[in-house]
Structures are given as C-alpha cells and as structure tokens.
Amino acid sequence: MSVKAVLRFVNYKITRDPDGEKTWRARCVSGDEEECGAESMVFGSDDPPADWMAEHTATTGHQRFQRIYEDYALVEKAE
Ligand SMILES: [Zn+2]
C-alpha cells in the first residue's frame, strides 16, 4: 500500500478582524422540563450582557444563561 498524498504544512495565521463587530447576547436556559428561552437583544460590546441577565434573574428568579459571543476572524497564509 502506497501513500500518495503529499502533506504540505502551511501555516495560517488567524486574527480577529478589527472591522468586524464583536457581539454578545444571552439566552435564559433555566427550567427543568422546558427552557425559558428568553433572549437578550444583541449587544455590541467587549463584555457579556450582565445587566440584562441580572434584570432577568431579578424578575423571574432564573439563574442559568447561555452566553453567545460572536466575532469575525481573518485567516492569512503566514509567510
Ligand atoms: Zn428565564
């Protein structure tokens, strides 16, 4: 059995796209049978939407959230 595939090791550099917006949103996943499912709006920010979560906990008693972070990446071939 011969292996014909030639493995080429090319390095790629992945960086955050400074032109892309960083966004956070939070989703309430509290509840045993069914998740609450309440979602915050999307916040363009470096930090998770702590105020929204605190307010939701204060009004509902729910204490478990999924924090969803999105940003953009650039992939470049390293020289
Ligand atoms: Zn909730």
Residue spans of the domains in the chain: they are: 21-77
Looking at per-residue confidence, does 78 or 64 come out higher?
64
H or E segment to which residue 68 belongs: strand 65-70
Confidence of residue 6 (pLDDT cuts 50, 70, 90): low
- Residue in this structure with the two tokens 């509902």, named with its chain if needed: 60
Which among 16, 63, 71 has a CA at the least distance from the CA of 45?
Answer: 71
Residues 25-61: tens digit of each pLDDT: 999 999 989 999 999 999 998 889 999 999 999 999 9
pLDDT at 7 over 70: no
- Residue in this structure with the two tokens 């999307």, named with its chain if needed: 42
Mean pLDDT of all residues belonging to the chain = 91
**CA 40–ligand 1 middle distance (angstroms):** 10
pTM score, two decimals? 0.74
**CA 24–ligand 1 middle distance (angstroms):** 17
Distance in Å from the first CA to the final CA of the chain: 35
